[in-house]
Chains A and B, each alone.
Chain A
């Protein structure tokens, strides 16, 4: 009764005020009348620093900023940065943004990793929603680590099941509300080669066997995640799709022009990426060194459209590569490691072996080298930053990996 009376008075009060003027004058919480999904939509458009401020506004905002829906929306919209992982004895993680600003991820957790890496040889596998997945390939038992280098959260350790298991990627399962690491292991039962898949649920700390028996396993490239699916390119000839919700694998062809299907293409180490929620496939024609960028327009019917063509001649002319005393101007030399890091709006970030990170503007057709200067702890003199151009890793015997990474505040 009292409650009834109260709401009635409140609505009457609102009516009076509305009759007078609109609600600007009264000091009520502007967001109070907005549904959660609208608030989530608004704050998912903010840069990560503002998002971290929004966490502290009030309890409702704190709850909304950590909701899975927000994390999903935010990571589709946010501009990806490049994660640089320097492996070998001294693992270090750096986040490089488009202005070549380098952010070192100095955390206690990375110190822990350094201690582990001395004997375990850590390899970066994939990233998802701000988390990274690392594999200790030489540990006494197969070990995997998941943590967020940006929010500086704690490390989660996964003890692998079997040596032969291949880590295929880390992803978020929206209906189970769980982060999951997917593993493939070749099935020993059958004579024909087939794989079985296991999932590790990070929150529940449980293993789950997936019924999907599929004759193909993803390769080492990290998966592109879009449309609630994981995508791996198999040597640039077909695309392996994993439907997260239905837990099904599919094998799909890569997009190509029918008329000239016999064109030789260059095999990129990473040729799938996600542009504002849409899957993109990159193929380089060897004949005329042009990179075609295809966008998946309809996931259900597998309809692609060719959105851009980028002439890669700049690579050879503007960035001649000096190795072993001679200067290589040809692109053919650089074939061994070329990959797409990320694509966002008009900006395409590429990694080219012996050239380094490049940023290409698709609208203005301008190429810019991203110069990376970092202080590498492994090499003593940490006061003076050294230019981490490509090649230094090889010189010092480090393993170095670049990957698309969106900063996020999620912690496990």
Chain B
């Protein structure tokens, strides 16, 4: 896989910074793509930090649960948050834009990766974004959007419509966003 040139890292790494800044790690995705990333950015993931500390990294860190596309996104996030000059305000703005353009499926890939890699900030941001998109939606919308099959019996479904029927006011009709 000669995809090293595709990774967005390299340029952002400041060579004058401390050891961590200069040392780079290689992350390998489930589909074999390799990404290099500065150690200072990579250790924002608690899972990677532990692997580095235990010294089981040995050059390449395999991440069998994260595919290449998702890993590239996660690395973009990590690089931004490891940037020296970035203010909190700037980071917050970046977070906002980072998740706003994502499709629903991508959000779930990222939430899984962030959970696996233990990146708290990213995990929180994505969870908040998923909740934002679910606001004021109906059961049908939720099932359709997330491909969830109802496992209730028809009798139970009938019963549910009666329960909390008053709370259904103010719920959007089933328009996709």
Contacts and interface: CB of A to CB of B under 8 A. Distances in A.
Given A29-B149, A45-B127, A57-B139, A38 B111 contact: yes
Q: Contact residue range for chain B?
A: 35 or more
SS class of chain A's interface: helix, strand, loop or mixed?
loop
Contacts of A55: 160, 164
A34 interface: yes
A46 B127 CA distance: 11
B170 interface: yes
A56 B139 contact: yes
B67 interface: yes
A49 B136 contact: yes
Interface residues of A, number: 37
A22 B45 CA distance: 22
Interface in B138-164: 138-139, 142-143, 146-152, 157, 160, 164
B103 interface: yes
A53 B130 CA distance: 16
B134 A57 contact: no
Interface in B104-138: 104-106, 108-109, 111-112, 115, 123, 127-128, 130-132, 134-138
B96 interface: no
B24 interface: no
SS class of chain B's interface: helix, strand, loop or mixed?
helix
Contact of A58 (B31, B152, B169): B152
B167 interface: yes
Contacts of A56: 139, 152, 157, 160
B109 A151 contact: no
21 contacts: A22-B67, A22-B109, A29-B147, A29-B148, A29-B149, A30-B147, A35-B115, A38-B111, A42-B131, A45-B131, A46-B134, A49-B171, A50-B171, A52-B167, A53-B171, A56-B139, A56-B157, A56-B160, A58-B148, A59-B152, A152-B166
Given A30-B104, A54-B139, A409-B167, 16 more contacts: A18-B30, A28-B147, A34-B108, A38-B127, A41-B127, A42-B131, A42-B134, A43-B131, A49-B168, A49-B171, A52-B164, A53-B137, A55-B160, A57-B150, A58-B150, A61-B148
Interface of B: 30-31, 67, 69-70, 103-106, 108-109, 111-112, 115, 123, 127-128, 130-132, 134-139, 142-143, 146-152, 157, 160, 164, 166-171
